[in-house]
């Protein structure tokens, strides 16, 4: 049973199409990366998923059933624009948010304390939010979205503004939750995190789905046609017909092949030409490259420059 199913949803604000024809499925126990440039409709899609806005057409199902508000007790949400009550003490705040998610006070309190311990912010619980650093506030919001042990965790840019130590702490926490069978959806611009963490991704741009599937599926669509090479000797072999384009930085060459099999031919030609090869590696395309390529294409090359934000 999929945790989230969006089917062909569409949302229009006035003349601006925020989301169009978006279909995606999130399975339990997976970490799902929702990618896209700024203003591509990620936040609108998330809001439609949890009933904060209503799609103009299409259907939203949570936990295998059409959307109902009671399902929200099983969802944890960390919005992109974060906010806490500035004057309220941390523990009171966590208990309040836990109660809103249907916990009773005792349970909300004990879980808050346990989570603060786990995320190493126990010393803050008696302080007011306004006395805390931005990173600490973010950890508190992170906790607030997990207190009620949701089966679906939605996090909009969960690691932005965190130092590497804390980012790793939260990443590890999310990985643990995935092991427990929770579905996790997060949106981010950091492709290295997506590559490391996500099982599946969806890439949207200008409100439309460009790519989706498991990480393997997505990557297998892109040819392994990029070679990095270190050599000594003449670079005449770079004129080989199997090479689309090449840049030679004094013995470090970046080579783009016409197709995958061409790699072997180029290597053979290089060996035959007598150059001394110390390294020859066929590189898998990075998610970042895939991202930029797709988003550029969606905007049309002319206007891509300033708008793509990877």
Partner 1 sequence: MHNVWLIAKREYMERIRAKSFLIMTILIPLLMGGILGGAALINGRSGSLKHIAVVTDNPQFATDFGTELSDKNQSKVGVDVYPSSKPGILTTLEEQLKAKDSTLDGYLVVVPPAASGARETFQWQPRSKADVIGRSRVADAVGATLTREKLIHSGMGAKEVEALLQPVHLDSPGKKDASAAAFGSAYGMFFLMYFVILFYGMNVARSIIEEKTSRVFEVLLATIRPEEMLAGKVIGVGAVGLTQVGIWIAVALGVIQLKLVGSDIHIFPSLSQTIFFLVFFLLGYLLYSSVAAALGAITNSEQELQQMNIFLMLPLIACSVVIFTIVTNPETMLAKAFSFFPFCTPLIMYTRIVVGKPTPFAIGFSIVELVVTIAIVLWIASRIYRVGILMYGKKPNLPEILRWLKYS
**Contact 151/121 with Cβ under 8 angstroms?**
no
Buried b (16+ CB within 10 A) or exposed e, 9-46: bbbeeeeebbbbebebbbebebbbbbbbbeebbbbbbb
Give the nearer residue to partner 1 in terms of CB position, either 39 or 213: 39
What residues line the site for partner 1 (CB under 8 A)? Answer: 13-14, 47, 50-54, 56, 68-69, 72-73, 75, 77-79, 81-88, 96-97, 99-101, 141, 144-145
- The single residue listed with the structure tokens 């270190």 is 230
Q: Helix axis angle, 134-144 relative to 105-118, nearest 10°?
A: 130
Dist. CA 281–CA 187, nearest whole Å: 31
Give the nearer residue to partner 1 in terms of CB position, either 184 or 253: 184
- Please name every residue paired with 243 in a beta bridge, in sequence order, or none if there are none: 257
The distance of closest approach from Cβ of residue 128 to partner 1 in the complex, given in angstroms and rounded to an integer, is 11
Closest CA to 8 of 28, 22, 26: 22
The distance of closest approach from Cβ of residue 180 to partner 1 in the complex, given in angstroms and rounded to an integer, is 21
Give the nearer residue to partner 1 in terms of CB position, either 89 or 219: 89
Dist. CA 75–CA 165, nearest whole Å: 27
The distance of closest approach from Cβ of residue 178 to partner 1 in the complex, given in angstroms and rounded to an integer, is 21
The distance of closest approach from Cβ of residue 304 to partner 1 in the complex, given in angstroms and rounded to an integer, is 25
CB atoms within 10 A of CB 269: 18
Q: Kindly state the tokens that stand for 230.
A: 């270190």
Give the nearer residue to partner 1 in terms of CB position, either 89 or 224: 89
CB atoms within 10 A of CB 254: 14
What number of CA atoms fall less than 13 Å from residue 67's CA on the CB side? 19
Give the nearer residue to partner 1 in terms of CB position, either 5 or 156: 156
The distance of closest approach from Cβ of residue 24 to partner 1 in the complex, given in angstroms and rounded to an integer, is 19
Give the nearer residue to partner 1 in terms of CB position, either 72 or 308: 72
**Contact 275/231 with Cβ under 8 angstroms?**
yes
Give the nearer residue to partner 1 in terms of CB position, either 81 or 232: 81
Residues 6 or more apart in contact with residue 159 via CB below 8 angstroms:
167, 170, 171, 188, 190, 193
Give the nearer residue to partner 1 in terms of CB position, either 81 or 301: 81
The distance of closest approach from Cβ of residue 50 to partner 1 in the complex, given in angstroms and rounded to an integer, is 6
The distance of closest approach from Cβ of residue 245 to partner 1 in the complex, given in angstroms and rounded to an integer, is 43
The distance of closest approach from Cβ of residue 191 to partner 1 in the complex, given in angstroms and rounded to an integer, is 26
């Amino acid at each position: 049973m999929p945790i989230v199913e969006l089917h062909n949803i569409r949302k229009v604000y006035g003349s601006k199409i925020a989301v169009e024809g978006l279909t995606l499925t999130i399975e339990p126990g997976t970490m799902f990366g929702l990618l896209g440039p700024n203003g591509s409709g990620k936040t609108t899609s998330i809001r439609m998923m949890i009933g904060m806005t209503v799609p103009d057409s299409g259907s939203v199902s949570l936990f295998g059933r059409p959307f109902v508000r009671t399902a929200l007790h099983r969802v944890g949400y960390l919005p992109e624009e974060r906010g806490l009550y500035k004057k309220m003490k941390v523990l009171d705040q966590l208990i309040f948010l836990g109660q809103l998610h249907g916990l009773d006070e005792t349970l909300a309190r004990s879980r808050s304390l346990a989570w603060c311990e786990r995320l190493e912010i126990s010393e803050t619980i008696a302080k007011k939010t306004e006395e805390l650093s931005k990173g600490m506030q973010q950890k508190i919001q992170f906790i607030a979205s997990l207190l009620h042990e949701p089966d679906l965790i939605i996090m909009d840019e969960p690691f932005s503004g965190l130092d590497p130590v804390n980012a790793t702490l939260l990443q590890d926490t999310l990985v643990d939750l995935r092991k427990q069978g929770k579905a996790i959806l997060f949106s981010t611009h950091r492709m290295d995190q997506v590559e490391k963490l996500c099982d599946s991704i969806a890439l949207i741009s200008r409100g439309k789905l460009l790519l989706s599937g498991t990480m393997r599926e997505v990557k297998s669509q892109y040819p392994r046609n990029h070679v990095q090479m270190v050599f000594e000797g003449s670079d005449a072999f770079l004129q080989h017909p199997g090479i689309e384009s090449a840049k030679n930085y004094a013995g470090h060459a970046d080579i783009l092949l016409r197709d995958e099999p061409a790699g072997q031919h180029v290597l053979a030609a290089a060996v035959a030409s007598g150059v001394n090869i110390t390294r020859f590696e066929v590189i898998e395309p990075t998610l970042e490259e895939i991202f930029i390529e797709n988003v550029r294409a969606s905007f049309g090359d002319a206007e891509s420059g300033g708008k793509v934000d990877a």
